[in-house]
Amino acid sequence: MTSQTDVYESTASYALLAERITKANRIVITTHRKPDGDAIGSVIGLARGLQSIGKEVVSLFIGPVEHSLKLAIGDSEYRLLEEEGVPTDEPDLIIVADTGAWSQLEALAPWLRERKEKVIGLDHHANGDDVAGDRVVDVSAAACTQVVLALFEEMNISLGTGRNSVAEALFIGLGTDTGWFRFSNADARCFADVSKLLEQGIDRYQLYRMLEETARPARMGLLQRMLASVEYVGSVAIMELRCADFQETNGSSTDIVGLVNTPLVLENIQAAVLLTDSDPSVTKISFRSKPAIPGQAGTLINVNELAGNFEGGGHVHAAGARVFMPLEQVKAQLIQLIQS
């Protein structure tokens, strides 16, 4: 796994990125593997906005893409790397959104490295690599779609209205990355941006239903097995789902999105971790945490730092990692870190 750089920050202004986009005709937009709502919203929002000003755009995803997010993409066309490969036409520009980490772009890394001078980045994560030489990294943004929104305001690109609009795609990113505005990152700026998007006539309830209430039955079987495995280490709940669990429930990695948050409803739990090995050669770790208990700053668990021990990363309250070690070994190391 590629180590992340010590300094990951903006190297360009919105004006510079806007200038590079304006000069380009064929543009490929991509994001991290197994895209979440913010990644999907950022890529599709960018694609819709840039197509509206006459750009030829390809939205390229590294799968899998979960069922509800396919619904959220609506009528926008996209290319799945595993099925169609990279675009055959050479792009003038490549935009990487919602990540700057080579570890999250492994399947696309050789293609990107060969075109390094064409890559620009939009991100809101605190950790990353030199994927994009010119990039805007805004860690104060609750979602990458806010970074896209700021870019479009610089470029005076319309948000459109209603279903399949730019506004809808950007709202999906904000809604999902803030836990539908429950998480601590849903700050005043977030609600100000949400207000701008809601003014464009999007149906927020329909989006919530489409994204959160269209799960397959396999999700319930996996939830049951995950909760049966829970182990409490201090104020951290550690859970696991093994390859056999996925096989016996006919489930997949796309069926467990968000399940890691479940133990956070408990008063004495400050963080939750889910270990999975649906691919026996890789252990995936999902980390989530709550803000500190009021008046007790020491209760905060920065899961971004915890994930960093496994060459992963993300945010203070949400992070992830992929480790090429057996799950039992990863779990033992994790428990040791929590107890130290």
Which of 75-79, 162-166, 193-197, 312-316 shows the lowest mean pLDDT across its residues?
312-316
Q: How sure is the predictor about 332, in pLDDT bands with cuts at 50, 70 and 90?
A: very high
According to the model, what pLDDT value does residue 93 have?
98
Percent of the chain with pLDDT over 70: 98
Q: Cα 18 from chain centroid?
A: 23
Q: List where CATH 3.10.310.30 sits in the chain.
A: 218-339
pLDDT of the residue at 130: 95
**pLDDT tens-digit series, residues 308-317:** 999 998 889 9
Q: What is the pLDDT of residues 220-270, one digit of tens each?
A: 999 999 999 999 999 999 999 999 999 999 999 889 999 999 999 999 999
- Judge contact between 144 and 38, C-beta under 8 A: yes
pLDDT given for residue 3 in this prediction: 43
* 218-339 placed in CATH 3.10.310.30: yes
Q: What percent of the chain has pLDDT over 90?
A: 93
Helices (H), 163-274: 166-177, 188-198, 204-212, 218-228, 243-249
Mean pLDDT on 272-298 = 92
Q: Which CATH class is domain 14-212?
A: alpha beta
- Cite the residue boundaries of each domain of the chain with CATH code 3.90.1640.10: 14-212
pLDDT, tens only, 166-182: 999 999 999 999 999 99
Go through 64-96 and write b for each residue having 16 or more CB atoms within 10 A of its CB, e for each that does not: bbbbbbeebbeebebeebeeeebeeeebbbbbb
